[in-house]
Amino acid sequence: MINVSIVVSERCQASGVMAVLDLFVAANYCHGHFMRKQYDLFTTQLVGLDTYQQAYNGCSIGPLQSLENTPRPDVLVLPGIIEAIGSPTRIKSELDKYQDWFETLRKWQEEGTLIAASCSGNLLVAASNLAQGRTLTCHWAMEEVAVQMFPEENFDASDMLFDHGNMISSGGSSAINQMILFTIERLVSRELSLLTAKMMLIDLEPAKQSSFALFQPNKRHGDNTVINLQNWLEENYTTSVFIGELAHQFNISERQLGRRFKKATGETPSNYLQRLRLEHVKRCLENSKSPANTIIWDAGYEDLSSFRRLFKRNTGMTMNEYRQRFGLRQQAV
């Protein structure tokens, strides 16, 4: 029997908690019905600071066990503990509530508990020093905040899942489904994971999270020169842009411009321009039927093959695959 504890926090994502419970119930059924083995392979218990916790959608989840009364589990699942759009202040306030847990979590990990964290649950991993420098992912919308709060950790929200042996880190929202299926494969077998995925109609293989991400430019930095440059780039990214000419236009040296822009936005001017053009292409693939080459040219690129490689590197998909997944649906006649 494999014991699984699931952490439930105030402001958690209720669907993430329920998905974990449902998937282990489905795995038990598949293990018994299809594989002709025991029906109670996984046991689950909900753990929290209080007897009940209210998720951010208003649902109350419980009853919950206290951590002190919970035997060391084989697997500890950390779903999202707060909304991915939470501010650093709100997230820190939530994490501070778990200070008394950190030593126990580290002890459990040392004694063999598999830590499986998803979405903002990865920030609890970082706060309790469970990652120890290993790469973490999280919801793409909170990567900037995660890096800001934990500069010593290595956050990379482009991928959906990282496996570090005694720790699994997965991306935002529904990525928890793939994480649990991967956990089932790790602990039991590929066969059971695949059966559970088929029963629950879930794609077993995780895609790159970057294919879902939206570019959210940071303009809360207070550098008016950089903000003016950002606005100019957002209005003119489809034209030929030369950073040196922009520096002259904004009455600043190219080197100083690059340094201030990077400090304010976290991006170089060239990377910022590149991301604007990538978003343009993604929106066109989602909302139009224009030929791919035309979309690339309209975005300001001339080297078609170079851009296609860039697109695949950033989204994990070819342009055609991206359009098939996110583009306009064929209307029935």
Contact (CB, 8 A) for 31 and 39: yes
Q: For residues 55 and 132, give the distance between their C-alpha atoms in angstroms, rounded to a whole number.
A: 29
Which letter does DSSP use for residue 42 in this model? E
Q: For residues 39 and 263, give the distance between their C-alpha atoms in angstroms, rounded to a whole number.
A: 55
**What is residue 16's predicted lDDT score, i.e. its pLDDT?**
95
Strand segments, DSSP code E, in 108-197 are 114-118, 161-163, 167-170
The single-letter code of the amino acid at 51 is T
Contact (CB, 8 A) for 147 and 156: no
The single-letter code of the amino acid at 292 is A
- CB environment 204-220: b (16+ within 10 A), e (fewer): eebbbbbbbbeeebeee
Residue written as token pair 């209080």: 50
Answer whether residue 204 shows pLDDT above 90: no
**103: its two tokens:** 């030593």
**What is residue 217's predicted lDDT score, i.e. its pLDDT?**
85
**1: its two tokens:** 């029997």
**In the CATH scheme, what is the code of domain 2-210?**
3.40.50.880
Long-range Cβ contact pairs of 41-45 (< 8 A, separation 24 or more): 41/1, 41/2, 41/188, 42/1, 42/2, 42/3, 42/4, 43/1, 43/2, 43/3, 43/4, 44/4, 44/5, 44/6, 44/20, 45/3, 45/4, 45/5, 45/6, 45/70, 45/73
**What is residue 333's predicted lDDT score, i.e. its pLDDT?**
46
Q: What is the per-residue pLDDT across 239-295, written as a single tens digit (0 to 9) for each?
A: 988 888 988 888 899 999 999 999 999 889 999 999 999 999 999 999 999 999 999
Query: Which one has a higher pLDDT value, 85 or 109?
Result: 109
Q: For residues 148 and 66, give the distance between their C-alpha atoms in angstroms, rounded to a whole number.
A: 31
Average pLDDT over residues 68-94: 93
Largest CA distance in the chain: 74
Q: What is the per-residue pLDDT across 26-73, written as a single tens digit (0 to 9) for each?
A: 999 999 999 999 999 999 999 999 999 999 999 999 999 999 999 999
pTM equals 0.82
Strand partners of residue 137: none
pLDDT band at residue 330 using 50, 70 and 90 as cut-offs: low
Instruction: Examine residue 88 and say whether the peptide bond preceding it is cis (omega within 30 degrees of 0).
Output: no
Answer whether residue 121 shows pLDDT above 90: yes
CA 186 to chain centre: 21
The architecture that CATH gives domain 224-326 is Orthogonal Bundle (1.10)
Residue written as token pair 């690339």: 296
Could you tell me the residue ranges of all domains in the chain? 2-210, 224-326
Average pLDDT over residues 126-143: 94
What percent of the chain is predicted at pLDDT more than 70? 98
Contact (CB, 8 A) for 286 and 211: no
**What is residue 89's predicted lDDT score, i.e. its pLDDT?**
92
Q: What is the per-residue pLDDT across 301-329, written as a single tens digit (0 to 9) for each?
A: 989 999 999 999 999 899 999 999 889 87
CA 148 to chain centre: 16
Contact (CB, 8 A) for 238 and 273: no
pLDDT band at residue 176 using 50, 70 and 90 as cut-offs: very high
Q: What is the per-residue pLDDT across 279-301, written as a single tens digit (0 to 9) for each?
A: 999 999 999 999 999 999 999 99
Q: What is the per-residue pLDDT across 178-199, written as a single tens digit (0 to 9) for each?
A: 999 999 999 999 999 999 999 9
**What is residue 85's predicted lDDT score, i.e. its pLDDT?**
87
